[in-house]
Amino acid sequence: MQPMNGAALRRARIPDGATDVLLDDARRRIGIESVLRERFARWGYTEAITPAFEYREAAAASGMEAGRLYAFPDPNGDLLVLRADATAAVARVAATRLREAPRPLRISYVTTVFRRPGEDRRRQAELPQAGVELIGSADPAADAEVLALSIEALQRLGVDDFQLHVGHVGLFGGLFEELDLSQTQIDNLKETIDRRDHPTLERLMDDIGLPEDAACAVLALLALSGGEDALDRAGALVRNGTSQRGVENLAEILGALADFGLHDRVVIDPGEIRGLGYYTGMRCEALSHSTGFAIASGGRYDRLLGWFGTPTPAVGCAFRVDRIASILPRGYVGGPSRTEALIRWDPSCRAAAFARVQEMRQAGRSVELEVVARSETEAIDYARSQGIRRLLAIEPTGPREIPLSKRNARDNEGCVQ
C-alpha cells in the first residue's frame, strides 16, 4: 500500500477531541448500549431521541460554561449550539411536548453530547452517553429506583469493581446559607470541595474569613465516607434546617434502596456535590476502582423543568459508555456477535451460496460472504485474523468445511449445515 502524501494526510485529519471508534471497539460500545437499552426497557423507561442541536436559550438550562459549547448561527441569525447535556434536552421535551402526559414519565436515551475540550486538546469533545430520567415524583422511592437501576445495569454489563458514591447538595449548601458569602465565593468553595483539594480548601476558607466552627464542619463533612454510620455522623455535624433535611432525605432514600437489596454498593459521601448546577438534592457517582473517572453520575434536579415553564420534580442518571467500554474485557460483546462464518463460493455456485447465506442469517447466525478474489489460504488467514470460527466453501460437488486449525478440523467434522 502506498504511503499517504501530505495533502491526503491533511484531508484525513479529525478535529481535536474527536475520535474514530472502529471494529471491535465499535462492537463493544454498541454491545454496551444494547445491554443498557434492554435494562432501561425492563424498568419501564421509553427511549427519546432529541435533536443534535438546539437554541442557545434552551442549552442555558444546563448551566454549562459558554466556552464548553459548540455554537454557530442559523440562517436567521439565531445562535444554535450542539447538544451539550442530555438531561436538559429531555427536560425540555418533558416540560413542553409531554407537558400533559401522565406522571411520572420514565424516559431513557442513548446519545452523544458535545463539549469543547478547552486547552487540554486530549480531552474528548464527543461524549457517548446513555441514561434515564424519572420525571414527576419527589418521593425518595424515585431516587432509590434510579440508584437501583444504575447499580443493576452496571452489574448486568459485568462491571464488578464499582461503588456508588451518594451525597446531597443540601449538606454543604445549608452550611453556606448560614454564611454571608457571595455566589462567586460559594462556587469557588464547591469547586475546591469537588476536587478534594484539602490544602487549597483550607487556604480558601482562610482567605474568605470563614468562622472556625464552619470551617471545621466543612472539613469534617468532606472527610466522611462510609455506610449509615457516616450519615449519622453527618447529622451530628450540621445544625441548620437545609443540611438536616438533606441528611433525612438521604436516610429515606437509602431505606428504600435497601428494599431493592442493592444498598451494599453504596458509599455515603457528603463531598459528592460535583456536576452541573441544576442539581437540588441527592447526587450520585459510580466510581470504578480500575479507573480514576466516573462511569455514571446523576441526581435530583427539581428546578430544571421550571426553566421551560413547567416546574416538576425529577431525578436521573447518565452512563459514560466510552468509559465503561475502557474497563470491560477486550473481548466483551454484549450486543451484536462477531461474524460466525465466512462463505466462499465457486463462480458456478453463486445462487446456491447466496441461498445458504440467507438461510444461515435467518437462523440467527452472523455470516460474511466472500466478495474478494483470494486463495483459500488467504481466506483462512483472513478468517483467523477476524476471529471467524467457520469457513465454508460452496462448490459444484456440494458444501465443504475448510478447517481453520487442527483443533477446528476435529470440531468441524460433520457439522456442515
Map out the domains of the chain with their CATH numbers.
21-327 (3.30.930.10), 341-411 (3.40.50.800)
Indicate the average pLDDT of the chain. 89
Burial degree of 155 (CB within 10 A; 0-12, 13-18, 19+): middle
Q: Which residues of 242-266 are buried (b: 16+ CB within 10 A; e: fewer)?
A: bbbbbbebbbbbbebbeeeebbebb
Name the pTM for this structure. 0.86
Look at residue 17 and tell me whether its pLDDT is greater than 60: yes
- Residue 213 banded pLDDT, cuts 50, 70, 90: confident
Strands 126-135 and 53-55 come out as unpaired
Helices (H), 297-349: 321-327
Residue 238: per-residue pLDDT: 87
CA distances for 178 relative to 45, 196, 248, 397, angstroms = 40, 22, 19, 88
pLDDT in tens, 326-353: 998 876 666 555 789 999 999 999 999 9
pLDDT in tens, 117-128: 876 656 889 999
Mean pLDDT of 36-63: 95
Which amino acid is located at 133 in the chain?
Answer: E
- Residue 198 banded pLDDT, cuts 50, 70, 90: confident
Strands 162-168 and 282-288 come out as antiparallel
- Residue 156 banded pLDDT, cuts 50, 70, 90: very high
- Residue 159 banded pLDDT, cuts 50, 70, 90: very high
